[in-house]
Structures are given as C-alpha cells and as structure tokens.
Amino acid sequence: MSELNLIPEELKYKRIKKLKMTNYISSAIIVFAILFAIVYIPKLYLNKLTSDESNLDTKISNNSKLVEQNKKLLADIKSATLYNNEVNLLIKKAVKVTPKIKNFEKYIPKDVVLTNLTYSKGIINIAGTSTNYNSITAFAANLQMSKEYPLARIIKIDSSVGYIFTIMINE
C-alpha cells in the first residue's frame, strides 16, 4: 500500500530548506568548534608549558642557592681540614726546647748576659754580651765540659762595645 502525501509542496520545500539550513549551521558550528579547538588547545598547552617552565626556573634558582651554600661549606670544611692537618703536623714536629736550654743557667758566669737564644734544626745559637773576655771563653769551656753541650764552640767575639759574642751548639 502506498501512502498518501498530503503535505503541500511548499511546506515540503520549506522543510527541506530548513533542514539544509540546520545542517549548514550545524556544519559551521562543528567547523568553528574544530578550528577553535585547533587554535585554542595548543595555546592552552603552551601556557601550561610556560607555567611549568617558570616553576622549574624558580626551583632551579632556589636549588642553585643551596648548591652555592654547599660549595661554600665544602670549601670551609676543606680549609678547616687543611688548617687542622697543618696544626697536627706542627704539634708532631714540635721540639721541646725548654729542657735543652734550661741547664744553661749553671754554666753562665756572672758577668755574661744572654741577649738572644735561637734553636733551629738541632743547632742552638746563643748571643750575648760581657764586660770580660775571659768570661766568654769560660762560658764556652763550661758548655764544652758538660755532658749536654760538648759540641759548643765560639763563632764570633766582637769587641767594639764591650764584648759581643755568638756561641753555636750542635746537638
């Protein structure tokens, strides 16, 4: 059986025209939405990447301060360690001089005055003055006769103003 079409032609064309217009508008909206998505989504993604980059730059700058502090602390530790090692080395190499020169008192004649005493690498240098030449030689002889300083010898005697002398003792 066949259907009877009672819809007038004019309404049929209006309906087809309306459907076409709706299709065109729908297609335009879809195309516009696709174009909008094509343009807007990359911009959103770019903004997100820019934000992430700025956050990472901030973290890096904060961490760079920590790295600089770490480097400074490591340099301070190294400096303190070197200083400590030098001090320990000096303590180990330190020579107790007091016992070596403490006994000079009993060998010095009364008119001899010691002006300088130096100790370096096993050699004691004694500088002094006296008003009597014989007191200087007696002092050197007393040192040579002792058990502690048998290698004592007079290096120089200057008689310009009184008697200025230098005695050297090798250990």
Judge: domain 98-170, CATH 3.40.30.10.
Answer: no
DSSP string, 81-99: HHHHHHHHHHHHH----HH
Which of 129, 131, 151, 61 shows the shortest CA–CA distance to 140? 151
Instruction: Report in angstroms the alpha-carbon separations of 8 from 18, 21, 30.
Output: 15, 20, 33
pTM beyond 0.95: the answer is: no
Model confidence pLDDT, tens digit, residues 90-116: 888 776 767 777 777 888 888 888 888
Domain boundaries, the chain: 9-94, 98-170
Task: For tokens 């309404």, name the residue.
Answer: 11
For residue 125, give the 3-state DSSP assignment.
strand
Structure confidence at residue 133 (pLDDT): 85
Instruction: Give residue 168's identity as a one-letter amino acid code.
Output: M
Tokens encoding 153: 């010898």
- Strands 123-130 and 152-158 come out as unpaired
Which of 157, 154, 153, 169 shows the shortest CA–CA distance to 101? 169
Give the CA count within 13 Å in the CB-facing half-sphere of 162.
12
Model confidence pLDDT, tens digit, residues 135-165: 888 888 988 888 888 888 888 888 877 788 8
